[in-house]
Amino acid sequence: MTHAHGISETLAARGAVAIDPPVLQPAHLYFELAGEDLRKRAFLVPEADGSDLCLRPDMTIPVCREALVRNEWLTDKPFALAYEGQVFRRRTDATSGAAEFMQAGAEWFFPRAAAAELEPQIIAAAIDSARAEDADPDLKLGDVGVFRALVQAADLPASWDEKLIRAFARPGGAAAVLEEMANPAPAKVPALAYELVGEPLERAEEKVADALRAQNIPLTGGRSYAEIAARLQAQAAHAKGPKPDPHCVNVIAGALSIEDEPEQALAGIFKLALQDMRTPGLDAALDAATDRWQALRRLARPPKQTRFSLSLGRGLAYYDGFVFELEAPKLGTRAALGGGGRYDGLIHALARREKNGRNVSSWGAAGFALRTKRIADASEP
């Protein structure tokens, strides 16, 4: 097996400590953190106690688990862990590529205040890593944070915002929800929901409990009367409330369809939002994206082509900030060399779950993974 020395040296020079996390990982943790979609791609290995392990389908979660047991959290300084190793993914169809391949990359963990300075350095580290292997990839940028700020700025009626944000990571998901917003289906809401409108939650909770007792239905399934009551209230509000403003729906759809050089794309989104969706949160998110791009240009020679698209989500629900991908178009269907982004929510959820978990709520996390074989194939002759 050939090692990607250029990548490991680039990452070591940036202070990343090389680690070698276990290949076998608890499957339930993956499904819990990365979603059931991973199931069709993960190789499962049964344990003697009936639980399942999986051959790691990515490196991010294994590296995060290693990170959580280290002592660097006790300082207030960022730290980075680098890796190179095999990942395993079941092929879902003939075009899915190899079932096992090498990834090299690094993950950074940092107090949130350090994010603005670190994020462009992380993207630059990925570009320089590829260049150290003689590849010169194109760059695609995105920002889930900008998308979320835009949705919040749209001030959509009850629960549409959550639905849209939830759908974002699924291919075509956001477009489907926007379509539904433009032509909402008549909602079917239980009669009881309308009786709960305007009631304080405690009263609504009692009414739900009474309704169930009257029919001799016990409460099963791990949700409280209050949870059920709160959602019934939300359902009624959703059904009776105003439809999403078509103008806002158009702005979000328009922003998602922009793909351009970063300055133009971000200016285009700003211009769309200017009409009447401007909020401090959106301004801050757009400024952060602009600053990140400008800092990146100072840190690394700009790639031949860089595009920004708000719809870049990498198909992974755990990204919640900037995202990026490196591409070598000449490799055709194998053009995706790797990428990464920011995933604060994932490291927080993982810290809650691991027994030795630490309180990392004031920390952020971001990183990237590169497919070394493709990088080698993309290298300039």
Partner 1 sequence: MSALVFAIPSKGRLQEQTLEMLARSGLAIAQDGGVRLYGARIPNLPEAEVRLMASAEIVTALRDGEIHAGVTGADVLSEADPEHTRIALIKPLGFGHADLVVCAPMSWLDCTTMADLAAVCADFHLRHHRRLRVATKYIALAHQFFDAHGLDDYRLIESAGATEGAPANGAAEVIVDITTTGQTLKDNFLRPLEDGLILKSEANLAVSRGADWDDAALSCFARLIAALEEKNAPNPAFDAFIKGVTA
Judged by the rule CB under 8 A, the positions of this chain that interact with partner 1 are: 28, 31-32, 35-37, 39-40, 159, 162-163, 166-167, 169-170, 173, 176, 188, 190, 192-193, 208, 211-212, 215, 217-223, 227-228, 231-232, 235, 317, 349, 352
Nearer to partner 1, 95 or 215 (CB): 215
Q: How far is the CB of 269 from partner 1 (least distance, A)?
A: 25
Nearer to partner 1, 334 or 353 (CB): 353
Nearer to partner 1, 238 or 292 (CB): 238
Q: Which residues neighbour 311 within 8 Å (Cβ) at sequence distance 6 or greater?
A: 142, 174, 256, 257, 259
Q: How far apart are CA 267 and CA 264, in angstroms?
A: 5
Q: How far apart are CA 114 and CA 78, in angstroms?
A: 8
Here the tokens at position 199 are 């009631």
CA atoms within 13 A on the CB side of 184: 19
Reduced DSSP (H G I as helix, E B as strand, rest coil) percent helix, strand, coil of the chain, to 5: 50, 20, 35
Nearer to partner 1, 159 or 290 (CB): 159
Nearer to partner 1, 45 or 176 (CB): 176
HEC secondary structure over 67-95: HHCCCHHHCCCCEEEEEEEEEECCCCCCC
Q: How far is the CB of 212 from partner 1 (least distance, A)?
A: 5
Q: How far is the CB of 327 from partner 1 (least distance, A)?
A: 26
Q: How far apart are CA 317 and CA 35, in angstroms?
A: 8
Q: How far apart are CA 127 and CA 7, in angstroms?
A: 10
Nearer to partner 1, 22 or 46 (CB): 46
Nearer to partner 1, 77 or 91 (CB): 91
Q: How far apart are CA 319 and CA 313, in angstroms?
A: 7
Q: How far is the CB of 144 from partner 1 (least distance, A)?
A: 16
Q: How far is the CB of 346 from partner 1 (least distance, A)?
A: 13
Q: How far is the CB of 29 from partner 1 (least distance, A)?
A: 11
Q: How far is the CB of 91 from partner 1 (least distance, A)?
A: 13
H or E element, residue 212: helix 201-214
